[in-house]
Structure 1
Amino acid sequence: MESSRGELVNLIEQKKIAKDNIKQAINIANIHPAPKAWFDFINQLLLWLGCVSLGLAVIFFIAHNWSEIGRFAKFALVEISLIFAIIVYVKTKPQTNASNGALITATLLLGALMALFGQTYQTGADPWQLFFNWALFILPWALIARFTSLWIIWLALLNIALALYCDVNTNPLSLFFTNKVNPLWLFIGLNSFIFTCWHTLSLSRTWMKKTWAIRVIALVTGTLITENALLAIVDDYIIHTLALPVWGVFLGAIYWLYRKVSIDLFMLSGACLSGIVVLTAVVGNGVIFSGDGAEYLLVSIMVIGLGSGSAFWLKQVQQEMN
């Protein structure tokens, strides 16, 4: 649909389609969704909202009535709901919206069951262990189901567990470095490794080829690397860190993968945005404190110039795609 839309826009811009025939061309290109497409979209939307709402409803019901419900009733409610969700997944056809929705509900209920166990018996475990064990227990489901959304949830749980772990341990990299190192490197390493594995495996596995999943992972990884580069610039320790070289390698990899190997405007747009932010921070950090008010104008002109240049380049890439 995106390709047909882009081709039609180019034809209209080049005035190869008469104004009187534009509406007919749009209908022939089948750009506007048909009534059946709207029905399928609404049907899937209600299914997913229902599955997620069911899992959250059980959690909120127990939390709201915590003092009124006994411990065995709490466990019974969560476990029966979890078993029911698993039965629905087993009985339905694999790789369908119904089975995937049941699996998401089961994932939420499993986390609720683990939290309920820890809160009821006061195990004394740190909060990061809850999310880590939650991710550990749903890993077999993710491997068997090969469901992209479940893998993204698994990745989110790992990042939350790592964030809570770093919050408890002030120096999480003490085993490898004597001096305190920015824990942001742990997140960069984790998400970069997953991004590399996902991109490599997607070349041979159909279920991993969904564009939105690799874009989400790349967005998280790119945001972390850009943030680390900004911290290096603001804290004035550029020479003593690998933040900027790693940032440059990441941008180079994105350019090579999604410009030379295959074209993806979303990835290239994110790389352009990261480049604008970091380059502006480098220049701004050097001139803002010079004492002259003209530096703000310089930074503004730089942002406008970089943004306009990026838009022009992306437009050229889009024309190459069409």
Structure 2
Amino acid sequence: MKNIQREGIETVARHSQLSKKTLAKALKDQVYPDEASWKRFLTLLFLTLGLGFSLAGIIFFFAYNWADLHKFIKIGLVEILVITVTVLALWPKINSQIRHIILTGSAVLVGVLFAVFGQIYQTGANAYDFFLAWTIFVTLWVCISNFAPLWLLFVVLLNTTLILYQEQVADWPPLLLYGILFLGNGLIFAIAKLRQAPAYFVHTVGVAALTFATIGMVSGILFSFNKDYFGVFAPLVGLTYIAGLWHGIQTKSTFYLSAIPFSSIIVIAAFLIDLSDGEWMLLSVSIFIIISVTFVIRNLIQLAKKQSS
């Protein structure tokens, strides 16, 4: 009885003659966390909180004492911290999950190091250079550790680098940027899904891809300067949404059946507003949003009931 969920045990109990005592024992053995699980959870929780507060304290320390510290002391302190935390993460007696959390803290400190260096020497670099360097210098750690939170930090750095590069250097049309971000995050989502990454990572990247798709569709509908790429962007998003809904229906996934319809509602509302911005159209759009959102939520509730029955 490996990897049995609570819903499965309760379904078996409803369609069999299992006694309450047997059901309680099955839930205790397979579902409820034991003492060791709670200890492991609390250890990771407090370690994560401690590391997060420590990183915040380091950043505020430099911000508060900036004028009183020599530039070599500033850089030296951060370098010592990066080296110390990285060596600690490589300590062989440390649990692998704890090692990954510490390595994530070290990756954040790399960003602090580049920020301190840039602030001291006023390199005149664009903001995207900072995030690009941060991304490059943590890539090896991300690939080796294969730790979902560290990958999530990496994805955030990639998106930020692309957005700042477009704003400060490339001057791409907005819809082209949204298309690149949509495809890039969508590709990461597909790979993470195939590799069975943690659900929170998959869903976070999926929401990011849907967000860029939604913004791109709305901007393409409402603003004329985005029309050049809209003929390619819109069919691509439409086919992706159809495939996602089909997959969601087949797998009974509430993520696909909630995120994609809500995005579609926003896009349709933008299309209606583009047709007319009169009072009656705004009233119609409001009614449409209320009815469609209610319909989506109703279907999700019914799906949840079917899954629990």
Short-chain TM bin: 0.7 to 0.9
Bigger mean CA offset, 209-218 vs 78-87: 209-218
**3-state DSSP of counterpart to 1:43:** helix
Q: What do the CA deviations read for 1:143-201 (whole angstroms, capped 9, x no partner)? A: 122222211111101111222223324x623xxxxxxx22x432432342343255247
Bigger mean CA offset, 137-146 vs 249-258: 249-258
CA positional deviation for 1:273: 1.9
Would the aligned equivalents of 1:132 and 1:161 in 2 still touch at CA under 8 Å? yes
**3-state DSSP of counterpart to 1:279:** helix
Q: Does 1:277 align with 2:266?
A: yes
Residues 311 and 194 of structure 1: CA distance in aligned 2, closer, same or farther (over 3 Å): closer
Q: C-alpha separation between the residues in 2 aligned to 1:186 and 1:52?
A: 32
Q: Does 1:172 align with 2:171?
A: yes
Q: Does 1:289 align with 2:278?
A: yes
**Unaligned 5+ runs, structure 1:** 174-180
Q: Does 1:65 align with 2:54?
A: no
Would the aligned equivalents of 2:100 and 2:147 in 1 still touch at CA under 8 Å? yes
Would the aligned equivalents of 2:179 and 2:212 in 1 still touch at CA under 8 Å? yes
Q: Does 1:158 align with 2:158?
A: yes
CA positional deviation for 1:245: 2.1
Q: Does 1:231 align with 2:231?
A: no
Q: Does 1:5 align with 2:6?
A: yes
Residues 281 and 65 of structure 1: CA distance in aligned 2, closer, same or farther (over 3 Å): same
Higher helix residue share? 2
CA positional deviation for 1:101: 1.8
Q: What do the CA deviations read for 1:193-228 (whole angstroms, capped 9, x no partner)? A: 34325524753x5xx532222211111001110122
Would the aligned equivalents of 1:100 and 1:147 in 2 still touch at CA under 8 Å? yes
Q: C-alpha separation between the residues in 2 aligned to 1:53 and 1:94?
A: 21
Q: Does 1:44 align with 2:44?
A: yes
Q: C-alpha separation between the residues in 2 aligned to 1:294 and 1:128?
A: 42
Amino acid at match of 2:210: G
Q: What do the CA deviations read for 1:74-105 (whole angstroms, capped 9, x no partner)? A: 11211111110111111136871221122112
Amino acid at match of 1:252: I
CA positional deviation for 1:276: 2.8
Q: CA RMSD in A?
A: 3.5
CA positional deviation for 1:303: 2.5
Would the aligned equivalents of 1:258 and 1:268 in 2 still touch at CA under 8 Å? yes
Q: C-alpha separation between the residues in 2 aligned to 1:264 and 1:221?
A: 17
Q: C-alpha separation between the residues in 2 aligned to 1:286 and 1:145?
A: 51
Residues 239 and 75 of structure 1: CA distance in aligned 2, closer, same or farther (over 3 Å): closer
What pairs up with 1:1-322 in 2 under 5 angstroms?
Answer: 4-7=5-8, 25=23, 28-30=26-28, 31-92=31-92, 96-169=96-169, 172-173=171-172, 181-182=173-174, 184-197=175-188, 199-200=190-191, 203=194, 205=195, 209-235=197-223, 241-242=230-231, 243-260=233-250, 262-283=251-272, 286=275, 289=278, 291=280, 295=284, 298-299=287-288, 302-304=291-293, 306-308=295-297, 310-311=299-300, 314-315=303-304, 318=307
Amino acid at match of 2:108: L
Q: C-alpha separation between the residues in 1 aligned to 2:160 and 2:283?
A: 43
CA positional deviation for 1:106: 1.0
Q: C-alpha separation between the residues in 1 aligned to 2:242 and 2:111?
A: 39
Q: TM-score, normalised by structure 2?
A: 0.81
Q: What do the CA deviations read for 1:44-86 (whole angstroms, capped 9, x no partner)? A: 1111112222223222211110011111111121111111011
Q: C-alpha separation between the residues in 1 aligned to 2:23 and 2:113?
A: 55
Would the aligned equivalents of 1:188 and 1:221 in 2 still touch at CA under 8 Å? no
Amino acid at match of 1:28: A
**Unaligned 5+ runs, structure 2:** none
Aligned length: 303
Residues 197 and 303 of structure 1: CA distance in aligned 2, closer, same or farther (over 3 Å): closer
Q: TM-score, normalised by structure 1?
A: 0.78
Would the aligned equivalents of 1:89 and 1:103 in 2 still touch at CA under 8 Å? yes
